[in-house]
A and B are shown apart, each in its own frame.
Chain A
Amino acid sequence: MDFSLTEEQDMLKRAARDLLSTHCNTGLVREMEEAGRYAQPLWSQLADLGWLGVGIPEEGGGAGGTVFDQMLVAEEMGRALAPIPYASSSVIAATALAGTGDAAVMKDWLTPIATGARIGTLAVAEPESHWDLDTVSLAATKDGDGYTLSGVKLFVLDGVFADDIIVVARDGAGDDGLVLGIVAPDASGVQVSRMLTIAGDGQAAIRFEGAALPAGRVLARGKVVRTAVEEALNRGRLILAAHMLGAADVAMQMSVDYAQDRVQFGRPIGSFQAIQHKLATMMKELESARALLYTAAWRHALGTGDDVQVAMAKAWMNDTSERTLWEAHQIHAGVAYMMEFDLQLFTRRCKSWELLLGDTHDQRRKVGDHIAATAAAV
């Protein structure tokens, strides 16, 4: 076994940390949130460095590499709370497009996303369906060679910034009835509105009211839609988990620093066992999250992983993120309750990442169903 990063992986991670710590401080995070925008100059910089194409196949304009490399970069983006549509466009939308296996889709739609020239996003969840393809109900009604779309998509990541909306719809029951299309946000019958979230980010609700999906914009139909979208969601889960890992690690470090500096009753509060035990628990849980996530991503990259390992990594990271951020607030107490203190920036974003693409219960259910469906080991 060898748990060390390769030379290339190590360099990528370090370079990402260096660049983000220079060009993405919490001032920028606050500024973008207030303006309701993403950091365009930072995005262009990452595009120029070729990082946005990491993990995207070369035939789709990407740089090759795997989800493991994407995860390393995403962890650093989480540390910096980088206000850019990386998970939504470069990972989730790109993976869905690559998953169609269609050369024309790769060339026409994936390539501009891989280079960062366009922002894509994948619209799956609905008012009564949380990233579960069995219950997706957005209607695709036959219209000539194409379809018209009617229904609502929610929690579309960075949907307010997207140039291309990849939408999962259905024209019939089961996997055979799945349709994957791509629509423009300003097309007739498409209405994109910003959702008001705890993270203050760019999630969108998108209403489709008889919006046209001409044949040229139908990306895939049937079972391949399931494969492509499930893979996109699984990669998205690993990437959001990596964001949480990076952000929660910073929250822990802030707490460590604060506990060493803050003096009460004549002693640094870090000398109190009650505080030490909280910090030790944070460390335990974050180390655990990293071990689980890295292995899940590594296996996923090799194609030897499965949905259950991804669900385990997301579920555990969700839990860890929730507890770590909470305890960070407990250690900081009053000071972190104020908006000018940075911890809340991390807490709010982590809460969204935790709830998106599969909350803890949802991911645990997946693991539990697997245990129930598998013969006992002994």
Chain B
Amino acid sequence: MQLDLTDKERAWRDEVGAFLRQSLPSDWRGEDAYETDESYEFTRDFAKKLGQKNWLSLAWPEEHRKEATKTKTEQALFQSEIAYNRAPTMNFQVGSGTTGPALMVYGTDEQRDLWLEDIRLGEVGFCNGLTEPDAGSDLAALQFSAVDDGDEIVLNGEKIFNTRAHRLEYITVAARSNPEATKHRGISAVLCPLDHPRVKVVKKMTFGGQNLSWVYFDDARVPMRNRIGTKDQAWYEALSVDVYTMPGAGASGSQRTFDDFVKYCHETKVGSQRLIDDERVKLMLAEFAIELEVQHQLYWRTVWARAQREGGTDIINEKIGGGLHQASTSVLSLWSKEWGPRFAHAAVRLLGPFGQLVHGEEWAPMFGEMERELRQSHGNHAHGTPELLKGVMAIRGLGMPR
């Protein structure tokens, strides 16, 4: 058993953290990183800096990153530092974590030559085109079509909820290439440039202030070489690839929000005392601090479990004292879906009338951060609503009948 970081791992975390803090402006808060042309310019350059350090490909095999693969723990520390410092990432998690690995496993040499190096260096940004109006949690119900025509593939349909598509170069769409096959067996993954003349990107804003685009394809033709993997088999290939990808960031982003709020409570007086000296504030902070620690501990267990799995060792439940159900990743993601909204609401409640003030308002506490968190926390449906996850946990994890 070894439940803490080694000195070497701490040193790596500190190296990443120091680089991020030194490369980001001292008052960096992470908002608007994709919004204005000026802020996006900075974001682009920043991704390239990460690429130059070879930090976008930490999980890739040595053959493709030209350096030894970092350990899962090191990858997790990198992700955690990125999230804690709110560094802009230009969606590199998709390029280096989804499209890149899919190309490495299922792509051709020609495809790898075309795209991998640019992904590794942070030169191009990718998003995934998955959700459609009638295919959300039930993704396999998708209708978007890909029809082969000679050396080309013709794409038709719409993809929605595409993160930052208006700023990126490529979208990887999941498309129905065989309408005759059963639901999961007729899907292909196809790369399409977002500046394609027959592709229209409509930028929309979320309630949380982030951009999500709707992308429309109208007989958009791409070369055959843009299909990743076997025709009709994407559900089992590109869409299910889970090697060479970094773990998520766990609760580091939540920890940062919490720390910012604690700082505010230390610095702010209401009546005759600081907020932090108010018993009800202390108890509220304690409750959320405990739950954050829970998430950190669960996170490191899932990171470790994944390293074991990739190393070829199956986790035997009993080995860690009955813990780590198959669904442990669901447990962690359920936490992230429920903790953020609860914390945001509780914090805003404590701020009283100041809680409603938005970024840009002179009197807004924490530059409107908690107000923004409150709005953004409504986006906890992504990758499945809490209720959907609970159903998965009960059925797959606990064997409940459907």
Binding site for B on A (CB under 8 A): 1-6, 9-10, 13-14, 72, 75, 249, 256, 259-260, 267-268, 270-271, 273, 275-277, 279-281, 283-284, 287-292, 294-295, 298-299, 304, 309, 312, 315-316, 361, 364-369, 371-372, 375-378
Of all chain B residues, which has the CB nearest A304?
Answer: B4
- If the complex has contacts A1-B300, A1-B304, A276-B395, are A315 and B290 also in contact, measured as CB distance less than 8 A? yes
A-B contacts, 22 of them at CB < 8 A, read A1-B5, A2-B1, A4-B319, A259-B400, A270-B394, A279-B394, A280-B398, A284-B331, A287-B323, A290-B321, A291-B297, A291-B298, A294-B297, A295-B297, A364-B287, A368-B279, A368-B282, A372-B266, A372-B276, A375-B266, A377-B262, A378-B260
Tell whether B179 is near chain A: CB-to-CB under 8 Å: no
**Contact across chains for B389 and A280 when beta carbons are under 8 A apart:** yes
Q: Number of A-B pairs whose CB atoms are under 8 Å?
A: 179
Partner of B259, one of A299, A365, A377: A377
**Contact across chains for A312 and B401 when beta carbons are under 8 A apart:** no
**Contact across chains for A371 and B286 when beta carbons are under 8 A apart:** yes
**Contact across chains for A376 and B283 when beta carbons are under 8 A apart:** no
Interface residues of B in 379-402 (CB under 8 A from A): 387, 389-391, 393-395, 397-402
Q: In the complex, what residues of A have CB within 8 A of residue B305's CB?
A: 3
In the complex, what distance in Å separates the CA atom of A3 from the CA atom of B3?
6
In the complex, what distance in Å separates the CA atom of A9 from the CA atom of B256?
36
> In the complex, what's the smallest C-beta–C-beta distance from B183 to chain A, in angstroms?
23
Would you give the 0/1 interface string for B266-308, flagging 1 where the beta carbon is closer than 8 Å to chain A? 1100000000110101110111011101110110110111000
In the complex, what distance in Å separates the CA atom of A96 from the CA atom of B395?
46
Tell whether B328 is near chain A: CB-to-CB under 8 Å: yes
Of all chain A residues, which has the CB nearest B260?
Answer: A378
- If the complex has contacts A276-B400, A316-B290, are A378 and B263 also in contact, measured as CB distance less than 8 A? yes
**Contact across chains for B334 and A280 when beta carbons are under 8 A apart:** yes
Q: In the complex, what residues of B have CB within 8 A of residue A4's CB?
A: 1, 319-320
**Contact across chains for A376 and B259 when beta carbons are under 8 A apart:** yes
- 15 new A-B contacts, CB < 8 A, other than A277-B394, A372-B282, are A4-B320, A5-B319, A10-B318, A280-B393, A290-B323, A291-B297, A291-B298, A292-B290, A312-B290, A315-B290, A367-B286, A367-B290, A368-B281, A375-B266, A376-B263
Tell whether B65 is near chain A: CB-to-CB under 8 Å: no
Tell whether B322 is near chain A: CB-to-CB under 8 Å: yes
Of all chain A residues, which has the CB nearest B334?
Answer: A284
- If the complex has contacts A5-B321, A364-B283, are A280 and B260 also in contact, measured as CB distance less than 8 A? no
Partner of A365, one of B277, B286, B395, B399: B286
Partner of A364, one of B290, B328, B400: B290
> In the complex, what's the smallest C-beta–C-beta distance from B83 to chain A, in angstroms?
13
Of all chain B residues, which has the CB nearest A268?
Answer: B401
In the complex, what distance in Å separates the CA atom of A259 from the CA atom of B400?
8
**Contact across chains for B283 and A365 when beta carbons are under 8 A apart:** yes
> In the complex, what's the smallest C-beta–C-beta distance from A261 to chain B, in angstroms?
11
Q: In the complex, what residues of A have CB within 8 A of residue B301's CB?
A: 3, 291
> In the complex, what's the smallest C-beta–C-beta distance from A168 to chain B, in angstroms?
26
**Contact across chains for B262 and A288 when beta carbons are under 8 A apart:** no
Q: In the complex, what residues of B have CB within 8 A of residue A298's CB?
A: 1, 3
> In the complex, what's the smallest C-beta–C-beta distance from A377 to chain B, in angstroms?
4
In the complex, what distance in Å separates the CA atom of A316 from the CA atom of B293?
10
In the complex, what distance in Å separates the CA atom of A284 from the CA atom of B394?
10
Q: In the complex, what residues of A have CB within 8 A of residue B393's CB?
A: 279-280, 283-284
**Contact across chains for B319 and A371 when beta carbons are under 8 A apart:** no
Q: In the complex, what residues of B have CB within 8 A of residue A256's CB?
A: 398-400
> In the complex, what's the smallest C-beta–C-beta distance from B332 to chain A, in angstroms?
9
Tell whether B2 is near chain A: CB-to-CB under 8 Å: yes
Tell whether B73 is near chain A: CB-to-CB under 8 Å: yes
Partner of A288, one of B279, B320, B335: B335
Tell whether B327 is near chain A: CB-to-CB under 8 Å: yes
Q: In the complex, what residues of A have CB within 8 A of residue B263's CB?
A: 376-378
In the complex, what distance in Å separates the CA atom of A328 from the CA atom of B395?
17
Q: In the complex, what residues of B have CB within 8 A of residue A304's CB?
A: 4
Tell whether B375 is near chain A: CB-to-CB under 8 Å: no
> In the complex, what's the smallest C-beta–C-beta distance from B319 to chain A, in angstroms?
5
**Contact across chains for B401 and A280 when beta carbons are under 8 A apart:** no
**Contact across chains for A284 and B335 when beta carbons are under 8 A apart:** yes
Tell whether B325 is near chain A: CB-to-CB under 8 Å: yes
- If the complex has contacts A9-B1, A280-B389, are A294 and B321 also in contact, measured as CB distance less than 8 A? yes
In the complex, what distance in Å separates the CA atom of A10 from the CA atom of B294?
23
**Contact across chains for B390 and A280 when beta carbons are under 8 A apart:** yes
**Contact across chains for B1 and A316 when beta carbons are under 8 A apart:** no
In the complex, what distance in Å separates the CA atom of A161 from the CA atom of B335?
43
- If the complex has contacts A371-B289, A378-B256, are A283 and B398 also in contact, measured as CB distance less than 8 A? yes
In the complex, what distance in Å separates the CA atom of A75 from the CA atom of B401?
29
Of all chain B residues, which has the CB nearest A253?
Answer: B398
> In the complex, what's the smallest C-beta–C-beta distance from B257 to chain A, in angstroms?
10
**Contact across chains for A271 and B331 when beta carbons are under 8 A apart:** no
Q: In the complex, what residues of B have CB within 8 A of residue A268's CB?
A: 401
**Contact across chains for B399 and A260 when beta carbons are under 8 A apart:** yes
Q: In the complex, what residues of B have CB within 8 A of residue A267's CB?
A: 401
**Contact across chains for B335 and A280 when beta carbons are under 8 A apart:** no
**Contact across chains for A3 and B318 when beta carbons are under 8 A apart:** no
In the complex, what distance in Å separates the CA atom of A368 from the CA atom of B397?
34
**Contact across chains for A10 and B319 when beta carbons are under 8 A apart:** yes
Interface residues of B in 347-395 (CB under 8 A from A): 387, 389-391, 393-395
> In the complex, what's the smallest C-beta–C-beta distance from B14 to chain A, in angstroms?
15
Interface residues of B in 99-122 (CB under 8 A from A): none
Q: In the complex, what residues of B have CB within 8 A of residue A283's CB?
A: 325, 327, 331, 393-394, 397-398
In the complex, what distance in Å separates the CA atom of A5 from the CA atom of B390?
28
Partner of B286, one of A249, A271, A364: A364
In the complex, what distance in Å separates the CA atom of A2 from the CA atom of B291?
22
In the complex, what distance in Å separates the CA atom of A312 from the CA atom of B289?
8
In the complex, what distance in Å separates the CA atom of A9 from the CA atom of B319?
9
**Contact across chains for A376 and B266 when beta carbons are under 8 A apart:** yes
**Contact across chains for A277 and B283 when beta carbons are under 8 A apart:** no
3 nearest CB pairs, A to B: A368-B282, A276-B394, A376-B263
Of all chain B residues, which has the CB nearest A277?
Answer: B390
> In the complex, what's the smallest C-beta–C-beta distance from A214 to chain B, in angstroms?
44
Q: In the complex, what residues of B have CB within 8 A of residue A377's CB?
A: 259, 262-263
In the complex, what distance in Å separates the CA atom of A275 from the CA atom of B398?
12
> In the complex, what's the smallest C-beta–C-beta distance from A6 to chain B, in angstroms?
6
> In the complex, what's the smallest C-beta–C-beta distance from A373 to chain B, in angstroms?
9
In the complex, what distance in Å separates the CA atom of A332 from the CA atom of B289?
33
Q: In the complex, what residues of A have CB within 8 A of residue B318's CB?
A: 10, 14
Of all chain B residues, which has the CB nearest A371?
Answer: B285
**Contact across chains for B400 and A260 when beta carbons are under 8 A apart:** yes
> In the complex, what's the smallest C-beta–C-beta distance from B6 to chain A, in angstroms?
8
Q: In the complex, what residues of A have CB within 8 A of residue B293's CB?
A: 292, 309, 312
Partner of B321, one of A13, A372, A378: A13
In the complex, what distance in Å separates the CA atom of A2 from the CA atom of B315?
12
> In the complex, what's the smallest C-beta–C-beta distance from A21 to chain B, in angstroms?
14
Partner of B402, one of A14, A271, A284, A361: A271
